[in-house]
């Protein structure tokens, strides 16, 4: 004999607390766990559990990207080659710069960049990831 649950119009949908969701998602991440079996055991559909897993992964990725290590390194010394033009009166010496490495791509923002440009570059990097 199979057991089933009847929900009539008087009852609302079941509400799961964040702790319950986290516990169920953690169950699915154990070695050998099958999402369908875990979902069935808790009276859920596999799609709901997969949605909770996706949401948890997004939160984890967002938390991981919130803080990144910053390294202050001196600018590399450039060798003087013969025939290289000297700085003209209007050119500045190379100074500090921002260098961001993400997913194998390096973005360098020069010393004279405006705060608006820096904000736009960082916003674009956030949008891509």
What tens digit of pLDDT does each residue of 103-112 get? 777 888 887 8
User: CA 110, 113, 115: angle at the middle one, nearest 5?
Assistant: 135
Could you state, in order of their start, the residue ranges of all structural domains in the chain? 18-66, 98-128
pLDDT band (50, 70, 90) for residue 125: confident
pLDDT band at 20 (very low <50, low <70, confident <90, very high): very high
| Amino acid 88: pLDDT | 53
Give the model's pLDDT for residue 87.
52
- List helix spans (H) across the chain: 18-28, 35-41, 46-66, 115-128
Cβ-contact 5, 43 below 8 angstroms: yes
State the pLDDT at residue 22. 92
pLDDT for 85 equals 53
pLDDT tens-digit map of 39-69: 999 989 999 999 999 998 888 776 665 556 6
Q: How far is CA 17 from CA 4, 22, 24, 37, 44, in A?
A: 23, 9, 11, 20, 14
């Amino acid at each position: 004999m199979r057991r089933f649950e009847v929900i009539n119009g008087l009852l609302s949908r079941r509400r799961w607390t964040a702790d319950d969701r986290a516990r169920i998602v953690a169950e699915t991440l154990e070695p050998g766990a099958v999402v369908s079996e875990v979902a069935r055991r808790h009276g859920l559909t596999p799609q709901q559990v997969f949605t909770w897993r996706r949401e948890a992964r997004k939160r984890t990725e967002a938390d991981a990207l919130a803080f990144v290590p910053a390294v202050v390194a001196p600018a590399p010394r450039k060798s003087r080659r013969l025939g290289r033009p000297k700085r003209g009166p209007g050119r500045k010496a190379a100074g500090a710069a921002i260098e961001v490495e993400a997913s194998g791509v390096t973005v360098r923002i020069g010393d004279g960049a405006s705060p608006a440009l820096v904000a736009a570059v960082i916003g674009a990097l956030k949008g891509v990831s």
